[in-house]
Chains A and B, each alone.
Chain A
Amino acid sequence: MKEDPDRPGIMLEPYEEVKIDTDLDYVSGIIDKLNDRKGVLLDI
């Protein structure tokens, strides 16, 4: 974690772009679990 140089006091953390290819049956479960881990859906 590091402080935002433009906004003092705001902490930044690294984010990753995650691509998952799987059957449609598993999609909702995966999204639920990654939402719990603070993930945000970009594209489906």
Chain B
Amino acid sequence: MTLKVPTRGLLGYRNSLTTDTKGTAQFRSIYLEHDEYAGEIKKNNKGALIQCVGAGKTTAYSLRKIEDKGTLFVGVGAPTYEGMVIGEHVLANDMEMNAVKSKAMTNIRVTGAVDIVEKMAPPRIMGLEDAIAYIRDDELVEVTPKHIRIRKKVLS
């Protein structure tokens, strides 16, 4: 089939197509023309999970709790900072979370600490195209040589 689609509408679409068709679709696109602005493209209406305290590395202890609130974009041990988007909330509102909180030390030793990490769903790692397609008006994509992150325009 052949379609005419605004270039901005194709941002992040290839991954979606691969998922929907289980990798069986062939996709080709080429510039066609400039035409009238098609209007606002609807984005998903889910909120963001935002790191609410200062810089630090994420811990399994806190991520395991945050995981219940939505899909994570960072794994255990990832460096984060205040205002960074660490996941997608299941609801429409943004929620501030502390992903760097570590468990208080006690005399009690618990086996199975490694199991916590293994039982967690893998984080959703986004490429540049996916991140640009994903962000909302109050967010920015931060690109460094090693990482692509999403952050709020206003960090705190």
A1 touches B9 (CB 8 A): no
Does B68 have its Cβ within 8 Å of any Cβ on chain A? no
Residue of A nearest to B20 (CB): A29
Residue of B nearest to A36 (CB): B42
Contacts of A13 in B (CB 8 A): 6-8, 34-38
Number of A-B residue pairs, CB cutoff 8 Å, is 131
Task: Select which of A10, A27, A34 is within 8 A of B36 by beta carbon.
Answer: A10
A22 touches B26 (CB 8 A): yes
- A1-44 interface (Cβ within 8 A of B): 1-2, 4, 10-23, 26-27, 29-31, 33-34, 36-44
How long is the Cα–Cα vector from A44 to B45 in the complex, in angstroms?
Answer: 31
B26 touches A16 (CB 8 A): no
| Segment at the A interface, from B10-18, B136-144, B145-153 | B10-18
A38 touches B6 (CB 8 A): yes
Interface size class of B (residues with CB under 8 A): 20 to 34
- B69-83 interface (Cβ within 8 A of A): none
B13 touches A26 (CB 8 A): no
Contacts of B30 in A (CB 8 A): 16-17
Does B125 have its Cβ within 8 Å of any Cβ on chain A? no
How long is the Cα–Cα vector from A1 to B34 in the complex, in angstroms?
Answer: 9
Does B41 have its Cβ within 8 Å of any Cβ on chain A? yes
Contacts of A34 in B (CB 8 A): 3, 5, 9, 13
Scan B32-63; emit 1 where CB is below 8 A from any A CB, else 0: 11111111011000000000000000000000
Point out residues on A near B: beta carbons under 8 Å: 1-2, 4, 10-23, 26-27, 29-31, 33-34, 36-44
Closest 6 CB pairs of A and B: A37-B9, A38-B38, A39-B5, A22-B25, A43-B2, A12-B34
